[in-house]
Amino acid sequence: MINLEWVKDYIDISDQDLHELAVKITEAGINIEKVITNKIDNLVIGEVKSCVDHPNSDHLHLCQVDVGKDELQQIVCGAPNVREGLKVIVALPGTVLPGDFAIKASKIRGVESNGMICALYELGLEEKNEETYAKGIEELKDNAPVGKDPLVYLGLEDTLYELDIHKHRNNDCYYHIGFAYEISAILNRKVKLPDLSYSEDKDNINNHFKLEVDTPKCPYYLAKMVTNVEIKESPDFIKRRLLSVGMRPINNVVDISNYVMLEFGQPLHFFDKDTLGDKILVRDAKDGEEITTLDNKERTLRSSDIIITDGKKPVCIAGVMGGLNTEVEPTTKNILIEAAIFDPVSIRYTASHLDLRSEASIRYGKGLSYEYTNYALDRACHLLEKYANATVLSGTVKHDKIDKTPKVVEFYPIDVDKMLGIKIDEDIMKHELERLDFPYTIKDGKFKVTIPSRRLDIESNVNDIAEEIGRLYGYQNIKGTLPKIELKRGEYVGDVKYRKAISKRLRSLGLNEVKTYTLVSPSMAASFDYEEKEKITLPNPMSIDKSVIRTSLIPSLLNTYNYNKARKVEDINIYEIAKTYDKSYNEESKIAFLMKGNYVTNPWKGSIKVDFYLMKGIVESILDYLGFKNRYSFVKSNVSDLHPGVSADILLDRKRIGIMGRVHPKKCSDEVYVCELSLNALMTKVKPLKYKEASKYPTIVKDVAFIVPKSMSSSEVETVIKKAGGRLLSEINVFDVYEKLDNDKKSIAYNLTFMDSNRTLTDEEVMNVFDNIIKKVTTSLDVELRDK
Amino acid sequence: MNIEDIKKEIEKDLSSVKDLKSLNELHIKYLSKKGIITELNSKIKDVPNDKKKEFGMEVNSLRNYFNEKYNAIKERLETEELNKKLESESIDISLPATKVSVGSPNILEKLIEEVEDIFMSMGYDVVDGPEVEEDKYNFEMLNIPKGHPARDAQDTFYIEGEEILLRSQTSPVQVRTMLKGKGEKPIRVICPGKTYRRDDDDATHSHQFMQIEGLLVDKDISLSDLKGTFEVAFKKLFGNDVEVRLRPSYYQFTEPSVEADISCFNCKGKGCNICKHTGWITIVGAGIVHPNVLRMSGYDPDVWSGFAFGFGAERVAMLKYGINDLRVFYNTDLREVNNFDRGELDNND
């Protein structure tokens, strides 16, 4: 949150419309999510012309108030300090105060009241507490102009920019001076730093204090000491500014540390020097080391944390939160100010494992500029001297291992042009660098730019400079072109190709594609688990419902089935193709489909219902499409989640590639069929397409029916027929099945097609083969000839 | 009976014929083996020689006479019979059709296929990679080392320590593609795929979502090429009159980074609810591939350059089809989906 009234301390933007400025800033790359103003309509300055007691109350007053209108307004007011002649803030009917509190004309204990006389806390400009409550309504100076906007008069009108924290280059726009630099680049105006001056006492910090840093994770540590601080309320402007960005004012000392952080982005820590002692040792924490933090909570540290100690015990978790033992209290007299830079990764890790994301840790975690560490320390001394009557001791205790070499980018203007795809005049480039306040030199046409330390985000490459120049020059100046590269047609690659092709096929066969979640609950994963693969369970799931990575898509399809059934959808034909993972991270893409109800629907004429054989036809259609004709087969399955009598394993080259069948009635009473195939298993080589001429010679068809045991599968009979039929038998078709024979028998009738692609067959030779088939079937199987 | 009498009888018989059956009986009566006209032939032997020729001609002409009449009646009766039959077969064409359905694509998938098609026509291959991914590919090689603040925006599902995760973006596919290219081959791919982040599911958030990312690595690739590519893609997707604008933005793996907006296809830039009254809709985050990213994947940034982009398929599908709850894509209600099996052939004419 950036307060624009505050920014005005550092850059002149008094002539700017702040809404338009927000657009300009957003266009230049810092996303301003929202412009917030505390302007309140219908708020005016009034003068209490008369004030008498309310006739029906012992504490209310009845006031006639001049608000600059023709008539006086009668307003009932309960504040003890309301009196005749006072200039006050009046909320007229129609005002909406913070908290959606709407002011209306009304009757209070039988007397008309046309508005409300306000206290500052009621306008959200002060914190509501006992003290501000006791103060009553705000008393304005006698010269306050009646009828005018009181917020403007008080200089309390604020405009705030809310930034999008995720789309952010770094932390340099999180603090008011950094933000002022961004505006300075956009408007080409100079930034003025605040007053950093203070006078130093003869007494030197080194007389009182020693610093030792025993960790590489603290490359920069400065400390100054102030004495005789007077702890009291902060001046109004500090309180107000902190409140405006959502920070609670505490006392002048604490507020100053926060204020400086919001100015320079550098968090400071104030220790009570007297409880701290005369030493600071910064080191890595020990595993299990404990500290009670300012919020009065016991924290257990890890060796990856950085800790500030007094040489013996921890006094502060570096960059995250101070210890209770050295907290600045109302009685504190002497303060040690810490301004440091810690390893951002370490701070982020600490804040995360302690679940303690503070304003400070967020800033440390993004990295800091040492120059601003210096500024912030001086600024704090300045403010403490000015607003807490502190004496600043001379000298600074310092640990300085930070690399101060500025980042330098060298580039030719053509490099930037090539990257952006436009020609930018060299003079314009110079101008943009000047606006950014990036010093540069040019030698033999080559720019050498020095990056200010506050821009931690910029690296030493031409891309970063092209971006800075480009965004200020304006991306709207870039015209679209197409890359000058080889012409080619893109392709679906690898498993995507199979997925797309099979998807298309399934849709053409009437199945609707669905998309479901990869993460399921353990019980859902177990609800149809024919492969019994070990599953990946997330160590930190959001909920148990989404804690397991599925190995089969069928539970998800059953879910979708139930979802649609509940919505009275009768015919449900759906499929999904998705990746699955087992415990060892093996990836298997799967195709699953679920069918129930009618496949072809005609309610008045008769529909075609989904059954096992229809689904089998769909499976065959996919396998045939992929070129697997004659390579696959269906065998009885023992998948326990399927109907034991209506299920099959699907084999390709004798290996199981999937399963299909009716869902076991104990799982689903409806007649629901499911199938799941491994896409990985289908990604195997097939012969290229080749034209094959249809035979010119006539075929001879013979019919035969056998009586077989009910338990015998037709494929068993077919296997024998095929073998006995040899080369001349070109096709076997089942054309009739009759189940209602006695003795657990059934009849299957086949028509057998005989053909030779090189000649016309004679009846005699066909009869020989045909008789041989019948002989083989009836002798090698428990089968009788029924008819031929 | 003489020929004249026979002729009269034929006339009489034929005139009383009602149907094909009685017509056929007449055929038997006159032209079968024992038929009256056939019989006449056997009588020729009783005819004096000098009359034989004449008699023969008369019999022939009688036969022709019969056949001619017979055929005419036969044709008439057959037509009548056929018409009768056709009439009896006529149906009520207003009765409902037999529903032969073609399956619908998932709505999201329909959008993705459209995007794929557009980019394939510009030479982009469509590739995918693992969803259970290594931190190395998902973050580190994209210039997001461990502990980097950019990881905050992508609250990730970790599976094993900080090494194995459910990918939070499809960018790892780009890294894998670059590694395969070995710093030698130009790259043009788009990677639509499932991604996962720790978001609570609601109308605009989902712990699982589809991202479409693209990567082009070649020589002398600029931001203007990116803009031109977006113009082709988004005009195809949202209509020829949309305009594209680039705005600066910040991502770890691109530099310069941009966001691309399109002018609102609904209000044509005038301002409406869809564009939140700004006239523009943000569609995609993109930028010039960061030199570190190129370098880490084996491409020398002094030789190669490229652009990358990425957007959420859900958001674009919601915009394009007017959907306001993202969960629609994952809880398929067949009553809604079935509208999506039609083409949009009139687009962009």
What integer is the mean pLDDT of A124-141? 81
Tell me what pLDDT residue B41 has.
79
Quickly state the pLDDT bin for A431 (edges 50, 70, 90).
Answer: very high
Contact present, A418 and B219 (Cβ < 8 Å) = no
Q: Tokens at residue A273, please?
A: 């020097």
Quickly state the pLDDT bin for A465 (edges 50, 70, 90).
Answer: very high
Contact present, A91 and A105 (Cβ < 8 Å) = no
Question: What is the chain B residue with the closest CA to A418?
Answer: B222
* Residue to test with chain B: of A512, A558, A559, most B Cβ within 10 A: A512
Q: What is the CATH number of domain B107-341?
A: 3.30.930.10
Q: Which of A149, A150, A147, A130 is nearest to A138 (CA)?
A: A150
Integer angstrom CA distances of residue B246 from A28, A461, A554, B226, B282: 10, 22, 44, 10, 9
Which among B228, B246, B305 has the least Cβ separation from residue A475? Answer: B246
Sequence-distant (≥ 6) Cβ neighbours of residue A440 within 8 angstroms? A430, A433, A447, A448, A449, A450
Lowest mean pLDDT among A425-429, A740-744, A765-769, B241-245: A740-744
Chain A residues touching B260 at Cβ < 8 A: none
Mean pLDDT of chain A: 91
* Residue to test with chain B: of A409, A508, A521, A538, most B Cβ within 10 A: A538
Tell me what pLDDT residue A165 has.
60
What integer is the mean pLDDT of A329-340? 93
State the residue for tokens 């691309």.
B260
Mean pLDDT of chain B: 90
Tell me what pLDDT residue A171 has.
65
User: pLDDT tens for residues B108-126?
Assistant: 999 999 999 999 999 999 9
Which among A471, A493, A516 has the least Cβ separation from residue B248? Answer: A471
What integer is the mean pLDDT of B56-66? 86
Tell me what pLDDT residue B272 has.
87
User: pLDDT tens for residues A383-393?
Assistant: 999 999 999 99
CA–CA min distance B173, chain A (Å): 12
User: pLDDT tens for residues A724-755?
Assistant: 988 899 999 999 999 887 778 899 999 999 99
Whether B226 has a pLDDT exceeding 70, the answer reads yes
Phi, psi of A247 (to 5 degrees): -110, 135
Tell me what pLDDT residue B347 has.
58
Contact assignment for A569 to B188 by CB distance below 8 Å = no
> What percent of chain A has pLDDT above 70?
99
Instruction: Identify the bridge partners of residue B309 per DSSP, sorted by sequence position.
Output: B214, B286
Lowest mean pLDDT among A30-39, A80-89, A453-462, A514-523: A30-39
Which among B131, B229, B334 has the least Cβ separation from residue A564? Answer: B334
Contact assignment for A512 to B337 by CB distance below 8 Å = yes
Euclidean distance between CA atoms A26 and A17, whole angstroms: 14
Which among B158, B188, B220 has the least Cβ separation from residue A540? Answer: B158
Please report, for chain A, the start and end positions of each structural domain, with discontinuous segments joined by +.
2-38+159-187, 43-154, 200-400, 407-471, 495-682, 700-787
Euclidean distance between CA atoms A775 and A773, whole angstroms: 5
Q: Is A306 helix (H, G, I), strand (E, B) or coil?
A: strand
Q: Is A196 on the interface with B (CB under 8 A)?
A: no
Q: Which of B206, B219, B209, B213 is nearest to B176 (CA)?
A: B213
Which CATH architecture describes the domain A2-38+159-187?
2-Layer Sandwich (3.30)
User: pLDDT tens for residues A517-568?
Assistant: 999 999 999 999 999 999 999 998 999 999 999 999 999 999 999 999 999 9
* Residue to test with chain A: of B102, B226, B253, B334, most A Cβ within 10 A: B334
Indicate left, alpha or beta for B294 from its phi (over 0: left) and psi (-120 to 50: alpha).
alpha
Which among B128, B223, B244 has the least Cβ separation from residue A496? Answer: B128
- Dihedral angle sign, alpha carbons of residues B56, B57, B61, B67: positive
Chain A residues touching B101 at Cβ < 8 A: 510, 573, 601
Q: Does domain A407-471 have CATH number 3.30.56.10?
A: yes
Whether B348 has a pLDDT exceeding 70, the answer reads no
Which among A420, A480, A511 has the least Cβ separation from residue B228? Answer: A480
Whether A370 has a pLDDT exceeding 90, the answer reads yes
Fold of A700-787: Alpha-Beta Plaits (3.30.70)
What integer is the mean pLDDT of B61-77? 89
- pTM check: above 0.90: no
Integer angstrom CA distances of residue B87 from B84, B93, B139: 5, 14, 75
Q: Is A101 on the interface with B (CB under 8 A)?
A: no
Length, in residues, of chain B: 349
Chain B residues touching A492 at Cβ < 8 A: 116, 120, 125-126
CA–CA min distance B226, chain A (Å): 7
Tell me what pLDDT residue B323 has.
92
Chain B residues touching A560 at Cβ < 8 A: 331-332
CA–CA min distance A384, chain B (Å): 33
Q: What is the CATH number of domain A495-682?
A: 3.30.930.10
Tell me what pLDDT residue A167 has.
52
Euclidean distance between CA atoms A506 and A497, whole angstroms: 14
Chain A residues touching B108 at Cβ < 8 A: 515
Fold of A200-400: Phenylalanyl-tRNA Synthetase; Chain B, domain 3 (3.50.40)
CA–CA min distance A670, chain B (Å): 18
> What percent of chain A has pLDDT above 90?
65
Q: Tokens at residue B158, please?
A: 């970790």
Whether A235 has a pLDDT exceeding 80, the answer reads yes
Peptide bond preceding B96: is omega within 30 degrees of 0, i.e. cis? no
Torsion of CA A177, A179, A185, A188, to 10 degrees: -60
Tell me what pLDDT residue A166 has.
55
Q: Is A464 on the interface with B (CB under 8 A)?
A: yes
CA–CA min distance A680, chain B (Å): 14
CATH superfamily of A43-154: Nucleic acid-binding proteins (2.40.50.140)
Euclidean distance between CA atoms B239 and B172, whole angstroms: 31
Whether A91 has a pLDDT exceeding 80, the answer reads yes
* Residue to test with chain B: of A432, A486, A517, most B Cβ within 10 A: A517
User: pLDDT tens for residues A591-649?
Assistant: 999 999 999 999 898 999 999 999 999 999 999 999 998 899 999 999 999 999 999 99
Quickly state the pLDDT bin for B153 (edges 50, 70, 90).
Answer: low
Whether A168 has a pLDDT exceeding 60, the answer reads no
The CA-based angle A458-A461-A463, given to 5 degrees, is 80
Question: What is the chain A residue with the closest CA to B257?
Answer: A467
The CA-based angle B347-B348-B349, given to 5 degrees, is 95
Whether A140 has a pLDDT exceeding 80, the answer reads yes
What integer is the mean pLDDT of B228-253? 92
Contact assignment for A419 to B228 by CB distance below 8 Å = no
Q: Which of B322, B314, B321 is nearest to B194 (CA)?
A: B314
User: pLDDT tens for residues A265-309?
Assistant: 999 999 999 999 999 999 999 999 999 998 899 999 999 999 999
Whether A70 has a pLDDT exceeding 80, the answer reads yes
Tell me what pLDDT residue B1 has.
66
CA–CA min distance A55, chain B (Å): 52
Q: Is A505 on the interface with B (CB under 8 A)?
A: no
